[in-house]
Amino acid sequence: MTKIKEKTILITGGAGGMGKLLAKKCLKKGAKQVILWDINEAQLNETTAQLEKLRFKVHPYVVDVTSIEDIEWAAKDVLRAVGKVDIVFNNAGIVVGKAFVDHSDADIKRTIDINVMGVMRVTKAFLPTMMAHGNGHIINIASAAGLIPNPNMSVYASSKWAVVGWSESLRLELEMMDEDLRVLTVTPSYINTGMFDGVKAPVLTPIMEPDDIVNRIIRAVESNEIILRAPFIVKSVPLLRGLLPTRMFDFVANKLGVYDSMEDFKGK
pLDDT at 267: 81
pLDDT at 183: 98
pLDDT at 259: 96
pLDDT at 63: 98
For the annotated catalytic residues, the residue numbers are: 156
Domain assignment present for residue 261? The answer is no
CA pair distance 251, 258, nearest whole angstrom: 10
pLDDT at 215: 98
**Cα three-residue angle 76-63-120, rounded to 5 degrees:** 70
The residues, ordered by sequence, that sit 6+ positions from 212 with a Cβ below 8 Å of its Cβ are none
Domain assignment present for residue 127? The answer is yes
Domain assignment present for residue 97? The answer is yes
Domain assignment present for residue 34? The answer is yes
CATH code (residue 158): 3.40.50.720
Tell me if 262 sits within 8 A of 95, measured CB to CB.
no
- Residue 130: name the closest of 198, 78, 202 by CA: 78
Domain assignment present for residue 147? The answer is yes
Sheet bearing 227-230, strands edge to edge: 58-62, 33-38, 8-12, 87-90, 135-141, 180-188, 227-230
Spans of the chain, pLDDT less than 50 = none
CA pair distance 146, 142, nearest whole angstrom: 7
Domain assignment present for residue 266? The answer is no
Tell me if 147 sits within 8 A of 187, measured CB to CB.
yes
Domain assignment present for residue 263? The answer is no
Domain assignment present for residue 3? The answer is no
| Widest pairwise Cα distance in the chain | 56
Please give the residue range of the domain that contains residue 101. 8-255
> What's the total number of domains in the chain?
1
pLDDT at 133: 96
> What's the sign of the alpha-carbon dihedral 231, 232, 238, 240?
negative
pLDDT at 1: 85
pLDDT at 268: 72
